[in-house]
Structure 1
Amino acid sequence: MDIPVYLDADACPVKDETYRVAARYGLTVHVVANSVLNLPREPWIVRVVVGPELDAADDWIAARAGPGSIVLTADVPLAARCVRAGAAVLSFTGKPFTDASIGMALATRDLMQSLRESGAVTGGPRPFSARDRSEFLGALDRAVNRIRRG
């Protein structure tokens, strides 16, 4: 069973970890970005370069996401679209986006955006850590196994 993985690749810190898990399970990874990225030359890694339009990568991924697929993104609105389509969706820190959590994630995103637009200094996200990388690896492995079991 081929499980397609859709990687929102612009500013993704876990590309290598994604490739490692994909190689272990024989998955196809669609690396979606607005520009050409340097990728390993593997037949199971598919480079997808979309146009420069705002949300072009998101639209490409959302159009293909569904049951039996995995979407990897830090973009909460994209995550919401893919969760609604039935895909397994993970953040780059390994946090799963689910029906139960996506509403709160969207509300938090909107609040933080509103605060930034009003001039508040929000500090931004914390630095990406080795623990985040490890959590991502475990979460991706669990998502693959959950889909494989049906």
Structure 2
Amino acid sequence: MRFVVDGDGSPVKKEVIQLAKKYQVDVLIVTSIDHYTTETYPDFVQFIYVDKGADSADYRIVKEIKADDWVITQDYGLASLVLPKGARVFHHSGKEYLLETIDQLLEQRYLGAKLRKAGQRTKGPKAFTAENRQEFVTQMEKLLKEIE
């Protein structure tokens, strides 16, 4: 098992790394070359940088994913591609995406895009808060303790 983070815009990278250290789990962060960093990370954290492009990181994650990996992303489309491969997928809020509900989420995303294309305004995601961050950590710790 390892954490695989959709790194473009992920607000919980530091929390994932802290959890990984505590529970001795490897971390793979896949992100655009636009987010290249020279920051030093522990040996259990690996970065893969991909070319610029809307879905470049997603495609690379799909290529890299293994059964039992835990993917952290807010992208329903990516979740729908890695769930059938046996990965567990979590939103930054800590909520888990499931095979049983992913089609409904994709349908909602499609309908929202259709409305926006027709000129209607739709609500975007709420701002990520300190409470959201703590909820993510709490949920992940609960699940990690269950598999110890």
Same fold (TM over 0.5): yes
CA offset at residue 85 of structure 1? 1.0
Distance 1:98 1:39 in 2: 34
Q: How does 1:40-51 map to 2 (within 5 A)?
A: 40-51=40-51
Structure 1 residues 31 and 38, CA gap change in structure 2 (3 angstroms):
farther
Moved more, 5-14 or 111-120: 111-120
Hey, what does 2:58 align to over in structure 1?
58
Distance 2:106 2:40 in 1: 33
Hey, what does 1:32 align to over in structure 2?
30
Q: Which residue among 21, 26, 29 is the counterpart of 1:23?
A: 21
Count of residue correspondences: 146
Q: How does 1:85-100 map to 2 (within 5 A)?
A: 85-100=85-100
CA offset at residue 4 of structure 1? 1.5
Letter in 2 for 1:23: K
1:96-137 C-alpha deviation (Å, 9 max, x unpaired): 001112111111111111111211111311111222112211
Moved more, 31-40 or 92-101: 31-40
Percent identical across equivalent pairs?
27
Distance 1:139 1:39 in 2: 27
- TM-score computed with the length of structure 2 as normaliser: 0.89
Tell me how large the CA RMSD over aligned residues is: 1.6
Hey, what does 1:142 align to over in structure 2?
142
Distance 1:12 1:96 in 2: 16
Gaps of 5+ in 1: none
Structure 1 residues 87 and 143, CA gap change in structure 2 (3 angstroms):
farther
Letter in 2 for 1:113: A
Moved more, 96-105 or 45-54: 45-54
CA offset at residue 77 of structure 1? 0.4
Q: How does 1:104-143 map to 2 (within 5 A)?
A: 104-143=104-143
1:72-94 C-alpha deviation (Å, 9 max, x unpaired): 00111001111111101001111
**SS in structure 1 of the partner of residue 52 of structure 2:** coil
